[in-house]
Structure 1
Amino acid sequence: MVIHYTTVEDDRELEQILALQACNLPSAISEEQARTQGFVTVKHDLDVLRRMNAAFPSVIAKEGDTLAGYCLVMLREFAPEIPVLAPLFERLKQLSWRGRPLEAGGWFVMGQVCVAEAYRGRGIFNGLYRHLADACQPYFDFVVTEVAERNTRSLRAHERLGFETFHCYDDPSTGERWHIIAWDWH
């Protein structure tokens, strides 16, 4: 079958995102899987996903009715909804990228990207981000996200696409080292 890229349209698709997310949290996979296949950090709930999607639709990849992957658009107004991302948002208030203070706007946070295990290695990650860029370029200049340093698969995939690390920090509450990265669309 063919992979179809689109935006989330209903709760059924949001529930599919939550199911795929749950399968890729560090608590659901082995350390070896996390190291070789990557992982997601944030566990969302349906209400937050609904509101995030209503503010700006997230991108999904589907094969028929099966969810192959997703990219969650997270506008800055949702920062208080996801406490685990508080250190990121606090840092972003103080940072600049390419000489431009992030407080000036023109960007959003990639809330999370995930590709189902059966679909990895088939270009879905790049397809999700390309579709996201097409949908978001009229409204935003770039996208910002953070990736745990130990999530080497995700870091490499983001770099191949064009993301650049512009800041790293250590989160004292988790001991995790994070790379804050951005992808310029202009």
Structure 2
Amino acid sequence: MIVITTSSTRKDLEGILALQRRNLSAGLSAEEKENQGFVTVAHGLADLEKMQSYEPNIIAKDGEKVIAYVLAMTEKSKSDIPVLISMFDGFNHIKYKGKAIAEYKYLVVGQVCVDKNYRGQGLFDKCYLEYREYFELDYDFAITEVAIINQRSMNAHKRVGFEEIYTAKDLTGLEWSVVIWDWKK
């Protein structure tokens, strides 16, 4: 039976990391990345433990196995994962509805992933719905970056309600779309 809940144990975090490792861009073929999507940042257990000390993550479990997740990062998480500092800094230079992102209380989607054996069953949408229900009273919106070449992820984010507000290239030339899911609309 599949249950959607919040991460609360070390075993939950280890399950997130196992799923993440199986879906990292570096370990997938070009065809897999194009057809199935990918994740780009590899977290460590200490990273997830620190993030979880601020806010839990949303996970889907089949029995004890983590089969999907949506990571939650707050402004407090900014300095905890060095590779993400530039993302947080970049958000502070973007305006949304006439105000700088930094002027809002927002939650960053640190990453989202669904196990390939469970795709096409609505878990992406269900996990994001739980994410919103859990966090919308405390935050104005969720924001994240999606690699534009990751069309599976771009389309899925648009489907649940994210809208593109900005695009930028990183130092490697990869184009990213900054998307927001405004919970106050």
CA distance in 1 between counterparts of 2:134 and 2:110 reads: 16
| Aligned equivalent of 1:77 | 76
Give how far 1:124 is off.
0.3
Q: Deviations over 1:10-45 (max 9, x none)?
A: 001100100110111112111110111000011101
Report the residue type matching 2:109 in the other structure: M
Ranges in structure 1 where 5+ consecutive residues have no aligned partner: none
Is 1:6 matched with 2:14?
no
| Aligned equivalent of 2:165 | 166
Give how far 1:141 is off.
1.2
Is 1:64 matched with 2:60?
no
Whether the aligned pair in 1 keeps the contact of 2:54 and 2:76 (CA below 8 Å) is: no
| Aligned equivalent of 2:28 | 29
CA distance in 2 between counterparts of 1:99 and 1:162 reads: 20
Give how far 1:93 is off.
1.1
- Output aligned runs, 1:32-51, within 5 Å: 32-51=31-50
Q: Deviations over 1:155-184 (max 9, x none)?
A: 00000111000000011x211000000001
Whether the aligned pair in 1 keeps the contact of 2:50 and 2:80 (CA below 8 Å) is: no
Give how far 1:135 is off.
0.5
CA distance in 2 between counterparts of 1:86 and 1:125 reads: 26
Residue correspondences, number: 184
Output the aligned Cα RMSD.
Answer: 1.0
| Aligned equivalent of 2:95 | 96
Q: Greater CA deviation, 84-93 or 61-70?
A: 84-93
Q: Deviations over 1:28-87 (max 9, x none)?
A: 111110111000011101011011112101100011112110010011222222232233
Is 1:178 matched with 2:140?
no
- Output aligned runs, 1:132-147, within 5 Å: 132-147=131-146
Q: Greater CA deviation, 55-64 or 98-107?
A: 98-107
Ranges in structure 2 where 5+ consecutive residues have no aligned partner: none
Report the residue type matching 1:144 in the other structure: I
Question: Any runs of at least 4 consecutive aligned residues in structure 1 with deviations exceeding 6 A, and if so which?
Answer: none
Is 1:153 matched with 2:152?
yes
| Aligned equivalent of 1:128 | 127
Report the residue type matching 2:154 in the other structure: L
CA distance in 1 between counterparts of 2:82 and 2:149 reads: 21
Give how far 1:150 is off.
0.5
